[in-house]
Amino acid sequence: MATTRDYYEILGVSKSATADEIKRAYRKLAMEHHPDKHGGDDAKFKEIGEAYDTLKDPQKRAGYDQFGQAGAQGNPFGGGGGQGGYSSGGFDFNGAGFDFSDILNQFMGGAGGGGASRGPARARDLEVGITIDFTEAVFGTEKSVSLTADDACEHCHGNGAEPGSKLKTCDTCKGRGQVTRVQQTILGAIQQTSTCPTCSGRGQIPEKACTVCHGSGIVRRARTLKVKIPAGVDDGATMRLSGSGGAPKGGGPKGDLYVQVRVRSDRRFDRHGRDIHSQVAIPMVAAALGTEITVETVDGPVTLKVPGGTQSGKVFKLSNRGVPVLGRSSRGDHLVTIIAEIPTKLSGKQRELLEQFASEANGSKKGFFKR
């Protein structure tokens, strides 16, 4: 069943959000509410997916913006003739193979709605993945990432013109950066405006194209970046490096680089929020009599006193030895669970001593072992 909530509200974005902003919002929420994740919400996950499925598609989004959910489904008038389509004067829009969203998209000025705007192409955001160790995630680290991306051509400084030549007004759009065409439809003449394909919206083209980038202003180049990972980062976190993405055609600021962080598991530790958990096994006699043990922590080995009579499963807290809180100086705790080991094989002497203990402690060997 479709949700009745506003799709933009579900994803937490504005109605003017770009396709990249919608995509990033969806990824963040989908990861947070995935049903396979602890604390995930299946209903919320499906609601997020429904909203993204509409808003990621330019035609569906244009229909939704104009007519709500019915418009997103290609049925803006909410039902009628034929197979759920709109019928007028005996003409069935759906039955004739007519997609109302195509006309609506033309009214809105092309994909995404709102018409084209003059200026250089929008910079491209990029994504890379990085994997770090458990302790690196706790204390923070610095890593190098390599990527190949669009970069401003150094030969022409990104404007696409061969050095010594000039930029001239685009002949196709006459400097407007947009082109307009009129298309005849059953609803009459529809005017559609889109970005000029010749100058990519810049309004200017080089008199002589750059011999390196051939007039695009960009070249593909390998880059290596240093990425600072903050202390306390968790598995699945996304970091944004502003201005480290791809360069747009015609010059202008670069897009952003999104770094997806993966944290390797550590056989010694488990992380739950700010706290670190581990287990230490000790002989049952040591648990009964008391002992001192060495506990491995992210700060190094720590001595822990285990009092006599400690039961298996008892948890001890090592304060301020957990994961730092992002942006703060405080840390979580390290929680140590004691596991009292019971021997699987006993020598004759060991069995005799245990039976003697059972007899003295309970008055009856039979009663002790029956319990």
* Sequence ranges of the domains in the chain: 270-370
Question: Which of 30, 246, 226 is closest to 127 using CA atoms?
Answer: 246
Question: Which of 351, 350, 338 is closest to 307 using CA atoms?
Answer: 338
pLDDT at 334: 97
- Write down the residue that tokens 């939704």 correspond to: 64
pLDDT at 336: 97
CATH for 270-370, options being 2.60.40.180, 2.40.50.140, 2.60.260.20, 1.20.140.10: 2.60.260.20
pLDDT at 70: 59
Q: In angstroms, rounded to a whole number, what is the distance separating the alpha carbons of residues 156 and 218? A: 9
Question: Which of 318, 273, 327 is closest to 298 using CA atoms?
Answer: 318
User: What residue type is assigned to position 183 of the chain?
Assistant: Q
Residues facing residue 263 across a β-bridge: 132
Q: What region, left, alpha or beta, does residue 251 occupy, with left being phi > 0 and alpha being psi -120 to 50 degrees? A: left
What is the Cα 155 distance to its own chain's centre? 36
**Please, what are the averages of pLDDT over each run of 10 residues along the chain (371 residues)?**
74 89 89 76 86 88 73 50 37 37 43 44 83 95 93 88 90 88 76 83 88 89 92 91 85 86 95 95 93 96 96 96 85 96 87 84 52 43
